[in-house]
Amino acid sequence: MPPAAAPAQGLARRDVRRFSLVGIVWDDPESELHGRVQVRTRAAGTTKWSAWQDVDTHNHEHAADPDTTERASGRVRGSTAPLWVGDSDGVEVRVQGQADGRAAGADGRAVVAEPLPKGMRVELVDPGAEPPLQGPEPDASPANALTAESAGSAASSAVNADLAPLGATEIAALSEEETRADLLATRGEGTDPPGPTDATDATDATDPTSTPGTTDPAGTKDTVGEKEAAGEKEAADKADAAAAAQRAKPYIGARPRIVTRRGWGADEGLREPDFSYTKTVKAAFVHHSASGNNYSCAQAPSVIRSIYRYHVKSSGWRDIGYNFLIDKCGNIYEGRAGGVAKPVMGAHTRGFNSNSTGIAVLGSFGTANPPAATVTAVARLTAWKLGLYGANPRGKTYLKSGGGNLYQKGKNVRLNVISGHRDGFATECPGSRLYAKLGKARADSARYQGR
């Protein structure tokens, strides 16, 4: 007797309030949904229903690191990826557990490999109203700008005050010369960026797993006092020279235009009021949002507002998980609040959120090719962001795992400075088609930095 299909659960076709994004959440964030989730929706104000669409069920790898305050808040729930469906007022859902391949039992039902998570419910997200097109008045004083905004909006804007006026809807692009001058001016007020051995392992000189005191072919040990001292001095000299060159002419790409949280219409009252930071930025992880490709660039702010609300209200996170988002036209958006130039702690790559930044390309790229504009935007954004911290986009670096399904907690892992999500966690993200473009992104990013 052939294996039977697992029984399906779901939500029968029904009228609902208007929404544009849908997902499934459940009680325990440590439980996974092993099976298939499909939805179909009705376009608002019509009788037209869509075909069945698959929802990406593997979303637990996009999360805060284990043992962090955000993860242990008690508010976090398990969830699928969100799916953008556009303006809709009807929904139907079916969830089918994954059968384990055994033949059906006496009742004719398939044997499900693992039970479906408890407390499953459908989340329907309305992106809300579009933000106003205009920003603050050109002559608006900081005091007036602050009194015109909520406390959350003011704080979110203030952390970018060195880059744009308070209340600005975008951070303007700079030329290469302006970017370098800005970095040198800022550096004069703070500290130097990390040297090559701190941020970028271009030559494997800082492998934390290497063992000092090797044996030569003849079987005699190297003398610690001579060879190791000479090697250390040579490495130190190279690091000093590289740091001096970096100070004289930093390797950094021109700052790209970035749409601020105010620009895409973030409701700052949803997120946690404070900001969370890590120490530095040694790597960038590239993701796809897995929310589908059926959106226009004009709709991108609505998609981001929906993902933000899904991450915070539906999934229980402190803020949107990604540090930056990029739409299919190559527009770059500020993600998690805290300042686009600062080392903001995200919730994008479970186990590797410390000392990294997360960039999500809006869309699904398992079988669809990413638009060229998005790959270019990844390269330009990383050339600037990684350049602020002295990191080489073509290099390697070490990150300490916070715990995941590829690397145990505490393990030092050697990764590309520009990595895909799947490099740090066993996942399909960022989709095979986008992942295949990361080599080009690394090369272009390094070229934009002047390397």
Token pair 């949280």 in the structure block, residue: 261
The pLDDT of residue 230 is 63
Q: What is the pLDDT of residues 12-64, one digit of tens each?
A: 999 999 999 999 999 999 898 999 999 999 999 999 999 999 999 976 666 77
Per DSSP (E only), the strands in 69-210 are 78-79, 83-97, 121-125, 170-171
Query: Cβ distance 375 to 313 under 8 Å?
Result: no
Query: Cα-flanking dihedrals φ and ψ of residue 308, to 5°?
Result: -55, -50
The pLDDT of residue 406 is 86
Round to whole Å and give the CA distance between 414 and 302. 37
Round to whole Å and give the CA distance between 257 and 81. 28
Round to whole Å and give the CA distance between 220 and 144. 74
Round to whole Å and give the CA distance between 391 and 386. 5
Q: What is the pLDDT of residues 222-251, one digit of tens each?
A: 454 555 556 556 655 655 555 555 555 799
Round to whole Å and give the CA distance between 174 and 185. 14
SS3 383: helix
First to last CA, the chain: 63
The pLDDT of residue 71 is 79
Token pair 């703070």 in the structure block, residue: 190
Provide the token pair at 194.
């990390």
CA dihedral 229, 231, 232, 236 (to 10 degrees): 140
CA dihedral 7, 11, 13, 17 (to 10 degrees): -160
The pLDDT of residue 39 is 98
What is the chain's pLDDT, residue by residue, as a tens digit (451 residues)?
Answer: 444 556 678 899 999 999 999 999 999 998 989 999 999 999 999 999 999 999 999 766 667 777 788 877 888 999 999 999 999 999 999 999 987 655 555 555 555 567 899 999 999 999 998 887 654 444 444 545 443 347 889 999 999 999 999 999 999 999 999 999 999 887 654 444 444 434 455 444 334 433 333 333 344 444 545 555 565 566 556 555 555 555 557 999 999 999 999 999 999 999 999 999 999 999 999 999 999 999 999 999 999 999 999 999 999 999 999 999 999 999 999 999 999 999 999 999 999 999 999 999 999 999 999 999 999 999 999 999 999 999 999 999 999 999 888 899 999 999 999 999 999 988 899 999 999 999 999 999 999 999 9
Query: Cβ distance 139 to 119 under 8 Å?
Result: no
Under DSSP, the state recorded for 227 is I
Round to whole Å and give the CA distance between 328 and 13. 32
Round to whole Å and give the CA distance between 322 and 291. 14
